[in-house]
Chain A
Amino acid sequence: MLKHSIKVVVVVVAAVTVMTATAQDLYGALARIDETGIINVGHRESSVPFAYINDEQQPEGYSIDLCMRVVEAVEARLGKEVEVNFVPVNPQTRIPLIANSTIDIECGSTTNNLTRQQQVDYSHTTFITGTKLLVRADSGIQEVEDLDGKVVALAQGTTNERVIKAMIEEMGFDTRVINVSDHAEGFLALETDRVDAYSTDHILLYGLIATARDPEAYDVVGRFLSYDPYALMVGRDDSEFRLLVNTTLSELFRSGEILEIYNTWFDPLGVPPTDLLEAAFAIQALPE
């Protein structure tokens, strides 16, 4: 009996040794990519300018650029070329698709928060935004305090929805909330005078104004009502791959190359990097 057990242990140990040896100590996403030769990159389709579909039907944007740097690092690490397979995701699918390993990395406009970290993991912070209000320029609304007696549209399930609803409740305002399902619909509600304000991450509001027919008619107003750090999303319990992603980002932050990439995408929107974001880049520029 004992002899038999020892035999089993020996066989198991041998098998494990062989497996790890052939997999070159790779596990998680890197092992998957090495095995298939394909990296599955999840991307948003309309998060301007982070990840969106361009006129040639290809995903592009700030987050996509960062992800392509990660792909280069993966190729260097594995010592071979890998094929990039783009997978479109939305706020409802991005977390399940990371959790079930359909995608290896998500490049979009995803806020890093602790509840989400129970399901997924994040890279360094790549952008910092927060909740603001989009209003018609002639509405007279300057701050969230001016929303008493007004109608505001909020996108279901966003962090911004929670923040604004909580503030309205706290201040005891008589503000009506209209639920919309995405940013385009929220802007449509504002455009058709159904609501007085639409609220989401400030950078996305600038993106909405940029695509409007009459950009001068709208204004992004107020102070930041929440803190939303964006990051690339990766699978949980996969430090090896996350380290590779973070090493790539730290290099970009350290060399200052990040600002070139930033300007490529944010200059057209007229949004320079905030002091807070520059500080975040500096702090996350970890040494080798």
Chain B
Amino acid sequence: MNYNWNWQILTETPYLGWLWSGLQLTLLVSSVAWVIAFILGSLIGVLRTLKQPVVRALATAYIEIFRSVPLLVHLFIWYFVLPEVLPRNAGRWIKRDLPYPEYWTATVCLGFYTASRVAEQVRSGIETIPNGILDAARALSLSQRQLYRFVLLPIGYRVIVPPLTSEVLTIFKNSSLALTIGVLELTAQSRQIENYTFQGFEAFTAATVLYIVITLIVVWLMSYIERWTRIPGYLSQETS
């Protein structure tokens, strides 16, 4: 292969700064989107377990709409189509007056999309709780609100820590799709470096390493949370 390797490019100005700002934007988009996803996902997941059929149907509709459409299509619809179908002034505000429209579109869209996946996990977490515990809670005459607050959610969240870890990892990787609507996050900045210097292999290697570092930190953090929140003797695979 006829390729001039030049690893030094990664430490040169402005390329190092580009990677750094890309990393910051990746972290920012992903974390804010995760906060949205976690809060909204929890809410919808809980609604899915309620008895009222209308509420359940609405929550189900949300989940199906958001998880059946590819994220890339979501991004395009939110960025290009939404401002056109809104009333003229609202659309114009999004397009012209909102600061960083591409950043907000990407973050909210990624958050809403991931919320549908979190919701399903919250629901399955709640549904795995054995009837015995529910009966015990009812015997204590807990209200519905208290039942969720003190029994179902605390146990349910603990059960779903491992699949939630995957979701957090996925949100970091999915954030790279934001480049399609012009958010200059880590992947976009690597492409930018390639376009300026034609040292694409070096730039993408750097991005790969940074993504791996992020995911390793997330995995470590989540396994710490898992251990820290464990209820002794609750999970059957508990060995100690």
Contacts and interface: CB of A to CB of B under 8 A. Distances in A.
Contact of A118 (B92, B101, B198, B201): B198
A115 B197 contact: yes
B182 interface: yes
A82 B198 CA distance: 31
A236 interface: yes
Contact of A119 (B4, B180, B184): B4
Interface string B170-186: 00000000011011100
Contacts of B179: 156, 181
Contacts of A156: 179, 182, 184, 188, 191-192, 195
A235 interface: yes
A258 B123 CA distance: 68
B84 interface: yes
A135 interface: no
Contact of A180 (B84, B182, B196): B182
Interface in A195-243: 235-237
Contacts of A119: 2-4, 198
B181 to A, nearest CB: 8
A96 B200 contact: yes
A85 interface: no
Given A92-B191, A157-B191, A192 B84 contact: yes
Contact of A193 (B92, B191, B194, B201): B92
A100 B1 contact: yes
B95 interface: yes
Interface string A68-100: 000000000000000000000001100110011
A192 B80 CA distance: 8
B102 A99 contact: no
B194 A92 contact: yes
A95 B200 contact: yes
Nearest to B99: A176
Looking at chain A's contact residues, the main secondary structure is: loop
A192 to B, nearest CB: 6
Most chain A C-beta atoms within 10 Å of own C-beta, residue among B1, B2, B183: B2
A24 interface: no
Interface in B181-228: 182-184, 188, 191-192, 194-198, 200-201
A95 B192 CA distance: 14
Contacts of A178: 101-102, 182
Contacts of A192: 80, 83-84, 95
B145 interface: no
A235 B195 CA distance: 18
B96 A235 contact: no
A193 B196 contact: no
Contact of A237 (B2, B83, B201): B2
Interface in B91-108: 92, 95-96, 101-102
A235 B191 contact: no
Contact of A157 (B3, B4, B192, B201): B192
A95 B198 contact: yes
Nearest to A151: B96
A188 interface: yes
A188 B80 CA distance: 8
Nearest to A194: B95
A234 to B, nearest CB: 11
A253 B38 CA distance: 65
A92 B83 CA distance: 30
B60 to A, nearest CB: 33
A179 B184 contact: yes
Interface string A172-192: 000000111100000010001
19 contacts: A92-B191, A92-B194, A92-B195, A92-B200, A95-B200, A99-B2, A99-B3, A100-B2, A100-B3, A118-B198, A156-B184, A156-B188, A156-B191, A156-B192, A157-B191, A157-B192, A181-B182, A192-B83, A236-B2
Given A101-B2, A179-B182, A180-B182, 17 more contacts: A92-B191, A92-B194, A92-B195, A96-B200, A96-B201, A115-B198, A118-B4, A119-B4, A156-B188, A157-B192, A157-B195, A157-B196, A179-B188, A181-B180, A194-B83, A235-B2, A237-B2
Interface of A: 91-92, 95-96, 99-101, 115-116, 118-119, 151, 156-158, 162, 178-181, 188, 192-194, 235-237
Instruction: Give the 3 A-B CB pairs with smallest separation, nearest first.
Output: A157-B195, A179-B182, A194-B95
